[in-house]
Each structure stands twice: as C-alpha cells, then as structure tokens.
Amino acid sequence: MSYKCTLIENKVEESNKNYRRVLSVLILTISICILEFVGGLVAKSYALVADAGHMLTDSASLFICYFAALIAKREANLQKTYGYFRIEIISALINGSLLMMLALFVIYNGVKRYFVPFEIKGNIMLVVSLIGLVANVVGIFLLKGHTHNLNIRGALFHIMGDTLSSVGVVTGSLLIIFFRLNIVDAILSTLIGVLIFYNAIKLIKDAVDVLMESVPPGIDTEVLVSDIKSRFSEIKDIHDVHIWSISSGIYILTMHIVTDLSDIRKTDTMIEQIRQVLKEGYNIEHSTIQIESPGFNRCS
C-alpha cells in the first residue's frame, strides 16, 4: 500500500536544506539573548533585559522553524499520513503562551521603573546593545534570500523587528550617557514588553487558526470557487469545499465538482488544470477533487 505524498516528500527535502541555516541563526540569537540579559543586570538597564526578552521571542520563532525542519525529516507513515509538520503548530502555541507571560512580566517591571528610578551604567548598556545590533544584522544576512520558505520568512521578520528594537536601545543608551535621561530605560522596556505581547498574541492566534483548520490567510473561498467556475465552462457546480493548513505554508483542499463530462480523459485533463490553478494562484499544492454527474444523489 502506498501512503507517501509528493507534497510531504518535497517539504522534507526543503526542510533538509533549511534547518542548518536556521540552526546557525538560532545559536547566534540565543547567545546574544544571554549576553543582553546578563549585561542588563550588570548595567541595571531593564531596557536591555526587555530586549533580551524580545530576542527570546526571536529564538522561539527560530526554534519552531528548526524543530519543524528537523521533525519533518521523518517520513509519513500509515498513522501519520501527512507527516509530522503539525508539531510546529503545537510548539508555536506553547511558545506563544510562555511569551505572553514573559511580556506581562516585562511590562510590569518596566512600569515600576517610572516610580522607582535606578542609576544605569550607560556605557555597558551601549556596548551590549551594539553587539546585539550587529548580531541581528548578521542574522538577517544569513536568512535573506531564502524567504520562499514561510517559516524562514516569519523568522526573518522577527529578527528585523528585533533589529529595530536594538536600534532603540542603542539610542536610549546614548541619551542616558550624554543627557542622564534614565527615564528612557523605563519607556523602552515598556514598549518592548508591549511588542513581545503583540507578537505572542499573534503567534497564539495563528496557531489556533491552524488547529481549528481555518481557511489559510490570503485565501477567499468564494473568490477561489468563482475563479475556477469562470475558467472551466464544463463545471456546473462546486460544493463541499474545504481548505485548511497542515502547518505553515502547507495548504490542503478538498472539493466536489459537478460536470456532465463523460469522457474520463477529458475529466482527468480538467482536474490537472484545476490543480495547476490552485497551485499557481493560491499556493495549494495538495488537492483532492471528487467528480460528480448532475444527477448524482448526495447527502446534504
């Protein structure tokens, strides 16, 4: 019995090419996260600690990419016919929940600093934040050019966001050094905490949407059905349309098509053309299409 799926095999091959690159960026990001956390404690800068928390969100995103790529190397089997890609979504849900709690902790301590000011060592804050900025730029160059993979694209966006955060911390450290504006540290840490919270909520929402088998973002079911009907005059009706994601960027579709075509070869040709439309226009690489005659008696 054959249970292998070409889509899954292609995704496994792609994962093998990507996971080493993601691992390199993950190691770099975790190292800078630890450096910023320790540096923030030494410099008494909560903005640095918050930025370390922000880099932790990047590390979580990169870990999801790496973990998914690693697990995806396992072949599909009779029990896991779509492979192991859904583990990425479970990891995303757990990470999002943990990051949301981290964000609340960062915001709470950032707000406290408005009322309990600390003397901040701006020089240490500047050096550490500059190292973090350079590391983020290196991470961007490592991932740039490979954004055809949605996981890597998401990780790249996280790192670009953290780069902006690092720029903010560098600017804040300069304001503290030259103008003694220690309040900037409290403002930055609060803003970074809000950013972490926003990313965590978005991560949880995206994971829940996949687990609820929602229609993938960017796909309108009504538009898709109308598009196919307009392209193929042989189609009398389309019903029982279901579109969902196995994991990031892996879209699945099933639908029933009513046609009065009696020639099996013409039917096969039409199905292949529909699949091509789905792949090129909607990024749906795996589709199951059931053909029915106009008189077919189906259950409602």
**How does DSSP assign 38-93, residue by residue?**
HHHHHHT-HHHHHHHHHHHHHHHHHHHHHHHHHHTTSPP-SS-TTTTTTHHHHHHH
**How do the domains of the chain map onto residue ranges?**
6-211, 221-292
* 67 touches 88 (CB < 8 A): yes
Average pLDDT over residues 13-30: 74
Q: What is the mean pLDDT of the chain?
A: 85
Q: Looking at the domain 6-211, which fold is it?
A: Alpha-lytic protease prodomain-like (1.20.1510)
CA distance 248 to 65: 10
Query: In the chain, which ranges are E strands?
Result: 235-247, 250-259, 286-292
Answer yes or no: is pLDDT of 90 > 70.
Answer: yes
Answer yes or no: is pLDDT of 1 > 50.
Answer: no
59 CB-near residues (< 8 Å, 6+ apart): 26, 29, 30, 33
Q: Say what the pLDDT of residue 211 is.
A: 93
- The distance in angstroms from the start CA to the end CA of the chain is 32
Q: How is residue 27 annotated by DSSP? A: H
pTM, two decimal places: 0.78
Task: Decide if 6-211 and 221-292 have a common fold.
Answer: no
CATH number of 221-292: 3.30.70.1350
Answer yes or no: is pLDDT of 7 > 60.
Answer: no
